[in-house]
Structure 1
Amino acid sequence: MSRRRIGFWYRLAAAIAKPPLTVLLKRDWRGAEHIPADGGFITAVNHNSHIDPLAYAHFQYNTGRVPRFLAKHGLFTKGFIGAVMRGTGQIPVYRESTDALSAYRAAIEAVERGECVAFYPEGTLTRDPDQWPMTAKTGVARVALQTRCPVLPVAQWGANLLLPPYARKPHLLPRKTHHVLVGPPVDLARFYDEEITPELLREATEVIMAAITELLSELRGEPVPETVYDHRRARAEQRHDAAEEGLK
């Protein structure tokens, strides 16, 4: 299938966003050769700053294959931002509603039309104290297995140094570098002829996240953590510890 045209709204968004991003962030972008010239595919990207979607979109825009992000549906109703989200073809995610599955259907349709869908598999900013990828949701694996499209793991680092997770003010100086490293497609072939069960989706998701974490390890020059941070488990343990402390 042919690649999707960038279009007016994406060019307008790029004209607005690229100048400040270029001023704020130096660039170390590698692995663009893995981005397919044509056909549908998925990028699976780690998430550690509120501004890294813009920084990552800048990278991929420059490859000529613009991404369609899955984003909170509330963003699509906010004036000019909503108009840009709709105009650029981003995919609204309706959490905990009867429309929750519509995002995955839209993602599958986009891939089958030959477009790129960009997933943040963690679903939110990482809660890992050291900003490694944490346990992920299985939506990326579901779309990947149903379409059998290439899934490119992507690691990014540096936007989080400009604006750390949940920080209110950016750290402008010294000027930070946005590092992006795209890997070759993740081999998911062993899952293709299996029944798609929750267990299979979790296993496939873990394979995708492991590839992202390996790339991030290369970017950071640090070893991969021995265990993956599980936010739900950590929160349950905190509640348990607080309850025990209250009994003393």
Structure 2
Amino acid sequence: MTTEGALLLADEVDGVLTLTLNRPDQFNALSEELLGELQSRLDAAARDDALRCVVLAAAGRAFCAGHDLKQMRANPDERYYRQLFAQCGRVMQSIVNLPVPVIAKVQGTATAAGCQLVASCDLAVASESAKFAVSGINVGLFCSTPAVALTRNVPAKKAFEMLITGQFISAAEAVDNGLVNHAVAPDQLDAALDALVQTICSKSPLAVRTGKAMYHRQRGMNLSDAYDYAGQVMAQNMMAEDVCEGIDAFMQKRHPVWKGR
């Protein structure tokens, strides 16, 4: 775990890296500095062959209130804003491009770029008390960059309603609309997250990494190209030692012993 007072806490146990946003008094707003810390940690995680899963969590009552508006107002320059949104976009894309699954653990409110952060993760588990919004419209700013991630999770009309009204949706609505996988009682959040993490970690590391990369790449293809690409990936995957072990274990009615290759 990093030292107390850090903007981002990091803790890795048994191949599971937990990154915790640690600006609770600022509702974990994404300052330039916090985005920089996130980018650095994600870059290091991408190089860690032993990593199995990443959990993105937050300290305090809120998950993330989006960009740091105070910092943004202190720098009224279009070039600055372009650089800031590009920096944020790199972080979001790094989450998507990370070789292993990233799970958002949402204990509180996630707004604007905070909602974008949830949408950018591969999976999300939320407390039933959590709420979600892309609320920039309320201060005259359409949440254009959060819209990129949101519209890749939420059906078109619901996404646009959220973007154009700035209204909150509940954790239950977030589940119904595909933004969150599971919404549980606040005291069950840790258990629900642990169950999902352990399920992922019980699978072949090679299959998980292959699957995440394939899943995200094929989403941008037309149907024919997606099937051609998926067939190639699956054929290559079939040649792995883990697949031989997995099939043998299934036929022999035993648990597989993964080698990660």
Question: Into which bin does the TM-score normalised by the smaller protein fall?
Answer: under 0.3
The structure in which a higher percent of residues are helix is 2
Which one has the largest radius of gyration?
2
